[in-house]
Amino acid sequence: MAQRVIVTGGAGYIGSHCVKRLGKLGYHILTIDNLSNGNKWAVLSGELKVVDLADTVTVKEIISSFNPHAVIHFAASIIVPESLQNPIKYYKNNTENSLNLLKILSELNIKNFIFSSTAAVYGIPEIVPVTEDAPLNPINPYGRSKMMTELIIQDISNAYGLKYTSLRYFNVAGADPEGKLGQAYRESTHLITRALKTAKGEFPYLEIYGTDYQTPDGTCIRDYIHVSDLAEAHIVALNSLLNNGESDVFNCGYGHGYSVKEVISVAKKVTGIDFKVIESDRRPGDPPQLIADCSKIKKKLNWQPRYNDLEFIIKTAWEWEKKR
């Protein structure tokens, strides 16, 4: 019998790549998504229920009748600058909705939970690459909304025996190498998507937010992980939980960082377009450097990334972007 998995946010960018992989592996999948940023066409496997997690009555009915072995919880708002302007949206969508979901799971005695967390929980890390035991000190509402959820999950786990894996994503980028999925959020503010949309002529120029950081070229450094490798991290986490693995927290990145300027130069190389770039002020809420120490997930869950190559990441994103 196939294992049943509920995926919240399965119509979104990362969730849809995970659903595709779960489908290939033969899982029985049900996606719950309000389609605020997701798309029906992106759910390539299983069933989709269009519902908001705030609608707890409907969500409980759906989960109860599907009776999943595990829940993977992607649904969230994820834009750092927006979280500074509209923190209530973030505490509602990310923290409150997660609590609602966890309450339902505890009432229904569903024991396995995988949570989309973020490197933003570390804030400005003192030591880079950052390990999972680094202090949590988020510097924006997005990071705080996710950190609070992590803490709630731990408390619920301690009290009711929920088993969980929190995956702290670094900078997720790229698109399905088979070309079926990719970043489809129109207003995406993420660097690689912005750079490629600028190359396509959708924006007159790309802004570099800050060139006076304490980094070798003055621009921020991030650890960009291919979305399909991240999807695979959920698969290994799920297999571990379903095989009696313990609750744990893992960083998801490659352990290597690239500056904004380096990303732009690879984007120009991949696209063959010398798009316009201007230097602007810092964007509030940006830590200078975020690089994962990813040895824990490799060692404990035997996660084996396949696409650790910035050029490949940007290439897959470009192939996707060109089709849109």
Q: Which sequence positions are flagged as catalytic?
A: 142
- For residue 261, the minimal CB distance to ligand UDP (Å) is 9
- Give the residue nearest to ligand UDP (CB): 220
- For residue 155, the minimal CB distance to ligand UDP (Å) is 27
Interacting residues with ligand UDP (CB under 6 A): 80, 171, 189-191, 194, 206-209, 220, 222, 260, 283, 286
The whole-angstrom separation of Cα 247 and Cα 85 is: 34
Query: Is 11:40 a contact under the CB 8 Å cutoff?
Result: yes
- For residue 145, the minimal CB distance to ligand UDP (Å) is 14
Which of 8/171 has CB closer to ligand UDP? 171
- For residue 2, the minimal CB distance to ligand UDP (Å) is 35
Which of 246/311 has CB closer to ligand UDP? 311
- For residue 118, the minimal CB distance to ligand UDP (Å) is 8
Which of 80/231 has CB closer to ligand UDP? 80
* Cα distances (Å, whole numbers) of residue 259 to 171, 183, 310: 12, 21, 11
DSSP letter, residue 41:
G
Count helices and strands (H / E) in the chain. Answer: 11, 14
Which of 28/222 has CB closer to ligand UDP? 222
Q: Residue 71's beta-bridge partner residues?
A: 6, 113
Helices 97-107, 141-160: axis angle to 10 degrees equals 10
- Residue among 57, 239, 105, 257 at smallest CA distance from 165: 239
Which of 287/305 has CB closer to ligand UDP? 287
The whole-angstrom separation of Cα 284 and Cα 286 is: 6
Residue whose token pair is 């010398």: 274
The whole-angstrom separation of Cα 310 and Cα 296 is: 22
